[in-house]
Amino acid sequence: MNVDFDRIVHNGTIITMGPKSEIIQNGFIGIKQGKIAAIGSSIGEEPLVSATETIDAENGLIMPGLVNTHTHMPMAMFRGLADDLPLDTWLNEYIFPAEAAHINPENVRLGTMLSCAEMLLSGTTTFCGGYFFEDHVADVVAGVGMRAVLGQGVIDFPAPGVPDPQNNVKAAASFVEKWRDKSPLIRPSIFCHSPYTCSQDTLKNAKTAAETTGVLFQIHAAETKNERQMIQTEGLSTPVQFLKDLGILDGQTLLVHAVWVDEEDIEAIKENGSSVSHNAESNMKLASGIAPVHKFLKEGIAVGLGTDGCASNNDLDLLQEMDMVAKLHKVNTLDPTVMDAETVLRMATIGGAHAIGLGDMVGSIEIGKEADLIVIDTDQPHLTPMYHPISLLVYAARGSDVRHAMVSGTPLVRDRKLLTIDETGVMKKMQKLSRAIAVGGGSAANV
């Protein structure tokens, strides 16, 4: 093979997650201009292949970077601040007041940077989410070099950065306008908090703004039994039917959670081509319930995994989330064949990429796709022996096993060292900020 590559990743087992789910032993991947240019089963005639850099996977696993379909990056600053509470108490008595007191551009940047560090070190290269001061989130993420679909949060009460809720949709639309062509790594989006914190007019206007610009519309929906009851007491049917009747369900809508859904709701999601973000650990921690994910998948609905924000999980480790997802659905259905390892890994990679509209770009190792790759170090007691690589990943691997990570062929983690983030400095600043949050004083940090 007489080809020059910018980079080669070789000497590992490649889990492609392509349409045929090929697993390639002793594989190599050639990268040119940020894209996957060659995939093979050995490095071939080495003298004829040259590259600026060669990354040796040392018999580990080479796979697509993980895709986290739902999170709130800056909320890393509230990790462990208030646990073991019901969602409404947690939100109204702790999270919303803490956000009102501490969310400012500097803290948002610091929380985002910490989340980027945690995600990259645990194998996530792409994520989707939204928050306030999203312009600052996007700026930090683009600077770090990660890929993301980001939405400025829309909510019908005074929010950080948008004191007058009358301007919430306008602020979200300006964010989209600003980031439309600003960075190849950032896809802007519109993120409405939920059907119970946004009025019908807000929801419709926000969806119209998303449609006009052709961007993804994200919304927490059918998360808790309480939400469903609230909507029903207003004489409406279910959160999903409510959104359907407003004209919000379509192929550009991502429903986050979708726990309290019935057969008719599932049909509506399927008919309208909407996708779902499954946040098992967050739903477990807040005791919200268990989304009927196997039914979604059976209906061909695109489903991805999400960690949700750090305050309700309390980490962003998708490898750990996968293990939890596989086991949760088995015990819930009393069927060990439900949610097999490959199905779960699909949701964490290509399934998630499709759910957020990036399926043609990332989520699998295929020629022409972006070289968003991670390498897992399997030379460890808890990952030995390896009969089935995918089983090993889902049931035994954890975030700390990720050794290298790259986005569009650019290395962001090498030998577990972050290349674009000052990890120690970020943690130090966050420790300082957390002391201020704990005493309710608030503080600005600079990143």
Binding site residues, Zn ion, CB under 5 A: 308
Q: How far apart are CA 78 and CA 440, in angstroms?
A: 12
**In this complex, which beta carbon is closest to Zn ion, that of residue 308 or of residue 321?**
308
Task: Decide: 256 and 189 in contact? Cβ < 8 Å.
Answer: no
Residue number, nearest CB to Zn ion: 308
- Tokens representing 447 are 């990143």
Burial of 66 (0-12, 13-18, 19+ CB in 10 A): buried
**In this complex, which beta carbon is closest to Zn ion, that of residue 134 or of residue 372?**
134
**In this complex, which beta carbon is closest to Zn ion, that of residue 191 or of residue 296?**
191
Give the shortest CB-130-to-Zn ion separation in angstroms: 8
Give the shortest CB-129-to-Zn ion separation in angstroms: 7
Task: Decide: 227 and 194 in contact? Cβ < 8 Å.
Answer: yes
Give the shortest CB-193-to-Zn ion separation in angstroms: 8
Q: How far apart are CA 345 and CA 17, in angstroms?
A: 8
For the chain, how far is it from start to end, CA to CA, in angstroms? 46
Count of alpha carbons within 13 angstroms of residue 272, beta-carbon side: 23
Give the shortest CB-170-to-Zn ion separation in angstroms: 23
Give the shortest CB-66-to-Zn ion separation in angstroms: 18
Q: How far apart are CA 269 and CA 267, in angstroms?
A: 6
Give the shortest CB-220-to-Zn ion separation in angstroms: 5
- Tokens representing 305 are 């995994």
> Shortest CA distance to 158 belongs to which of 190, 197, 195, 210?
197
**In this complex, which beta carbon is closest to Zn ion, that of residue 192 or of residue 266?**
192
**In this complex, which beta carbon is closest to Zn ion, that of residue 37 or of residue 114?**
114
Pairing of strands 217-221, 186-192: parallel
**In this complex, which beta carbon is closest to Zn ion, that of residue 176 or of residue 311?**
311
- Tokens representing 430 are 């966050």
**In this complex, which beta carbon is closest to Zn ion, that of residue 28 or of residue 133?**
133
Give the shortest CB-78-to-Zn ion separation in angstroms: 12
Question: What residue has token string 């896809």?
Answer: 187
